[in-house]
Structure formats: structure tokens, C-alpha cells
Amino acid sequence: MPVRPILKMGDPRLLRNAQRVKRFDSPELAALITDLHDTMLHAGGVGLAAPQIGVDLAVVIFGFETSIRYPDAPPVPKTILINPIIEPIGGQQTEDWEGCLSVPGLRGKVPRFHHIRYSGFDPDGQSVEREVDGFHARVVQHECDHLWGMLYPMRIRDFSAFGFTEVLFPALTSAAEST
Ligand code: NI
């Protein structure tokens, strides 16, 4: 069952604090990662978190070379991140547009830390640690938010910068968004 249904905002399973993964290098974890990967590609997303397919575990995937949903975004390395921790560096926040596969058809400007260090584990239990900024940092913060029950609209400060993708970005809608 590789492509799984994506839960939408309003589903209480999106509001949980995800459980930490305790066992690495297992067939169950490998199957989950395959499902996340196939579901993300099918939906054309740049990231996906396990809670979005109803799995209560601290696993996110993200990364792309180019994205139809974010045509101006620089590439982000394809990454599987388990039990992540994020530390802001410097505290500077920037606002930029985000969407979410669990909030289809909408975009909003969301404040995020510009510069972060993130760490966690890969599926074999090897540690991952990176210091990143810009869109990469934004994607990681967005995906990890799903693990603490946060959806991006909960972070919006200025609701005049929140609306339907087809109205805000008509060119994008025709290319990318089916919902
Ligand atoms: Ni999302």
C-alpha cells in the first residue's frame, strides 16, 4: 500500500505529539518510509511527515531537485529524519509562503527561523546533523511541526497573507495544484 491517503486539517490525528521511534533498521520502519516517499511523490510535495498518513511516529521526509509547488525554491537534499530536534541559530525570523498537503488549496505567509541546526537519525539509526538556512530551514521546521501537532496556519500572524492558491498564485495552480 505505497500511496496512502493524506489526512486533512481537522483530523485530530494531526494534533498529536508523535511518538519517538525506538527501533531502527526494521521492516516496519522501512515500509513506513516507502509509503511516505511514494505518497509525497504522488502528491507532488516537498516533504511529508508520518502523522499526515495517520502514523503516530516522529518520522519526516523532505527534499527535491525542483518542485512544481515551489518553482522558485532552491534544491533541498533528499532526507529521511527520525526523532528530530531543531535548534534556532541567531533567532532571526523571516516570513514566506507555505502550503501543506494536509491543508490543500491554501497558502499562507509563515514566520520561521532563518537559520537552524537540526539533528536526528536516519533509518539505520545513524545520526544526522546539519546547519541550514533559508528554504531548507523552512521545510524542516514545517515538517517537524507536524510531529508536535502544529499545522502552518497555527503559526500565521498576518491573516491578510493567507488565502487560496488559485487566487494568490494562479499560474502555480494550473501547473501544480489539483485541489
Ligand atoms: Ni505540511
Catalytic annotation, residues:
143
| Torsion angles phi and psi, residue 131, rounded to 5 | -115, 120
Q: Set out the domains of the chain in order of their start, with CATH numbers.
A: 12-177 (3.90.45.10)
For residue 100, the CA-to-ligand 1 centroid distance in Å is 4
What is the grid cell recorded at 78? 533528499
pLDDT tens digits for range 17-56: 999 999 999 999 999 999 999 999 999 999 999 999 999 9
Per-residue pLDDT band for 69 (boundaries 50, 70, 90) equals confident
pLDDT tens digits for range 82-107: 999 999 999 999 999 999 999 999 99
Q: Is the pTM higher than 0.75?
A: yes
What is the grid cell recorded at 109? 505567509
CA 64 from chain centre, in angstroms, equals: 12
State the virtual CA torsion across 19, 46, 36, 177 in degrees, nearest 10: 120
For residue 126, the CA-to-ligand 1 centroid distance in Å is 25
